[in-house]
């Protein structure tokens, strides 16, 4: 691309494009990064600068960018079909993918309902759960419970069960009422790993909160939605598996659907194929997207138990149909890519590699300990995070006006790293294809950034 073309494109970007999750005034003087090529773990801008995609392009990428097998899968499928509507019609990629998902998902999930992004798959789960209780003669079960710090997407149903005020509070007048439940207080604020006793205490306390809610209100609660193991957009908060197992047990006992949102953590990111496996549980509804297509095509799926499905199965006149669907439901190209990605998981032993790199990542984390104002270092699988705080003893935050995380982001770009923070939480959400050498280089560069910004 010539410098003139680049200038012209960026000018049009500023004039015409409104980017998500962005205060556009930040870009009144500064350009967005114009990316021209993506390959493996790297993005290349129009000037040829290379950046490590340490956040897997918003937590989606799995096998790296531009994987030849994924490209071929799209091309092959396009020879046969482009998009096909999915009511009254079906196709091989969607059928085979549903079959495969049921095979690899936690046991007991029997049906796959497709959509095309994480938020809509959340909407599907909420509506399915709600309608199920209407069909089985429990019409009072109309509400949902969710965890503080939770993030389930940006559509209004998903926002109604969202627990991050920064993103969600503005829309409150538009939202349905839902119960906000206290999350386990384990990683915030302990400065480093919590002791096993602290973790156990945190889990017990949080489960007690769920139990109290269910004892008083389970009659009106359809489902409890959680991000199992890692609350992602709420600040990369890692929960013990015992919490997820305890929630499953309470949901079963009090007849509340457990809705597991694995949009972000599914497909190996936490070291197991699905995060629910850490706790050895099966949710009633499982929500998948992002890594489903290895982060290449928009696709999502909501899996449910046969019991839920059967409550909708009746004569048309009973109005038990699930009236929900999107134009791009089960897009064949996206399904073909998802299938190819799952073949790669098996053939290239991706989960074994993830376990090796996760160990290596754990081994690197002590390198952050000597830094000032840095604490709460945590990790699960390919995910690791730390917080920048004024006082590492108390966890007192820096004034938000200082935008510490944002400054790390800007400095990291100069170092060839995309470290996209959540407030003052800096994290890695590494693609599965990361090599040990690349991991070391990423940590070296992160340390250099912190050093330059005076955190040593
Ligand atoms: N659930 C979780 C846990 C997520 O992290 C996200 C997106 N970051 C979503 C749902 C929404 O997915 P999408 O952005 O595809 O709508």
Buried b (16+ CB within 10 A) or exposed e, 318-351: eeeeeeebbebbbbbbbbbbbbbbbebbeeeebb
Q: Look up the CATH architecture of domain 33-63+349-452.
A: Alpha-Beta Complex (3.90)
Report the pocket of ligand 1 as residue ranges, CB < 6 Å. 117-119, 122, 151-153, 227, 232-233, 261, 263-264, 289
The 10s digit of each residue's pLDDT in 274-326 is: 999 999 999 999 999 999 999 999 999 999 999 999 999 999 888 899 999 99
Any idea which architecture 70-347 has in CATH?
3-Layer(aba) Sandwich (3.40)
According to DSSP, residue 296 is labeled: S
Q: Is 7 annotated as a binding residue?
A: no
pLDDT tens-digit series, residues 388-440: 999 988 889 999 999 999 999 999 999 999 999 999 999 999 999 999 999 99
pLDDT tens, residue by residue, 246-284: 999 999 999 999 999 999 999 999 999 999 999 999 999
Ligand 1 atom 7 nearest Cα: 153
Q: Phi-psi region for residue 281, left (φ > 0), alpha (ψ -120 to 50) or beta?
A: beta
For range 79-103, the mean pLDDT: 97
Cα 100 to Cα 98: distance, rounded to the nearest angstrom: 5
Check residue 61 and report its DSSP letter: -
pLDDT of 194 above 90: no
CA 5 to ligand 1 center in whole angstroms = 34
Q: What is the C-alpha to C-alpha distance for residues 128 and 130, in angstroms, rounded to an integer?
A: 5
CB contact set of 60 (below 8 Å; sequence gap of 6+):
290, 291, 294, 295, 296
Fold: same for 33-63+349-452 and 70-347: no
326 is in an annotated binding site: yes
Domain boundaries, the chain: 33-63+349-452, 70-347
320 marked among binding-site residues:
no
pLDDT tens digit sequence for 201-238: 889 999 999 999 999 999 999 999 999 999 999 999 99
The percent of residues in the chain predicted with pLDDT above 70, rounded, is 98
Cα(197) to centroid of ligand 1, in Å? 32
């Amino acid at each position: 691309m010539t410098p003139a073309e680049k200038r012209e494109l960026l000018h049009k970007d500023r004039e015409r494009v409104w980017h998500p999750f962005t205060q556009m005034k930040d870009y009144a003087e500064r350009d967005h990064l114009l990316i021209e090529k993506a390959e493996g773990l790297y993005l290349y801008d129009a000037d040829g600068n290379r950046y490590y995609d340490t956040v897997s392009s918003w937590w989606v990428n799995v096998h790296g960018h531009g994987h030849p097998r994924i490209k071929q899968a799209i091309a092959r499928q396009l020879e046969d079909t482009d998009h096909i509507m999915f009511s009254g019609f079906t196709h091989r990629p969607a059928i085979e993918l549903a079959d495969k998902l049921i095979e690899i998902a936690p046991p007991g999930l029997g049906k796959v309902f497709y959509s095309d992004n994480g938020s809509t798959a959340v909407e599907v789960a909420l509506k399915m759960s709600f309608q199920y209780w209407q069909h089985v003669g429990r019409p009072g079960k109309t509400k949902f419970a969710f965890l503080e710090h939770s993030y389930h997407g940006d559509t209004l149903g998903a926002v109604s069960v969202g627990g991050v005020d920064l993103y969600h509070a503005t829309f409150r007048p538009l939202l349905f009422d839902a119960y906000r439940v206290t999350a386990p207080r384990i990683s915030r604020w302990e400065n480093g790993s919590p002791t096993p006793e602290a973790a156990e205490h945190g889990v017990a306390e949080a489960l007690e909160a769920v139990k109290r809610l269910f004892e008083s209100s389970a009659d009106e609660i359809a489902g409890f939605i959680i991000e199992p193991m890692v609350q992602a957009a709420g600040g990369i908060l890692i929960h013990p598996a015992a919490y997820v197992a305890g929630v499953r047990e309470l949901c079963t006992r009090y007849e509340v659907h457990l809705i597991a949102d694995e949009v972000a953590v599914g497909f190996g990111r936490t070291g197991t194929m699905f995060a629910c496996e850490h706790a050895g549980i099966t949710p009633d509804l499982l929500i998948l997207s992002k890594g489903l297509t290895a982060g290449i095509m928009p696709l999502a799926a909501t899996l449910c138990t046969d019991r839920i499905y059967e409550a909708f199965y009746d004569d048309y006149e009973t109005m038990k149909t699930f009236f929900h669907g999107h134009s791009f439901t089960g897009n064949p190209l996206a399904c073909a890519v998802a299938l190819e990605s799952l073949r790669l998981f098996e053939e290239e032993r991706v989960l074994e590699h993830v376990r090796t790199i996760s160990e290596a990542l754990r081994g690197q984390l002590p390198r952050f300990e000597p830094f000032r104002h840095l604490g709460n270092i945590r990790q699960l699988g390919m995910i690791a995070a730390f917080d920048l705080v004024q006082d590492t003893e108390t966890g007192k935050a820096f004034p938000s006006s200082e935008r510490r995380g944002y400054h790390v982001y800007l400095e990291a770009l100069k170092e060839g790293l995309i470290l996209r923070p959540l407030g003052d939480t800096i994290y890695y959400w590494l693609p599965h294809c990361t090599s040990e050498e690349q991991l070391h280089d990423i940590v070296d560069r992160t340390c250099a950034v912190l050093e330059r910004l005076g955190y040593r």
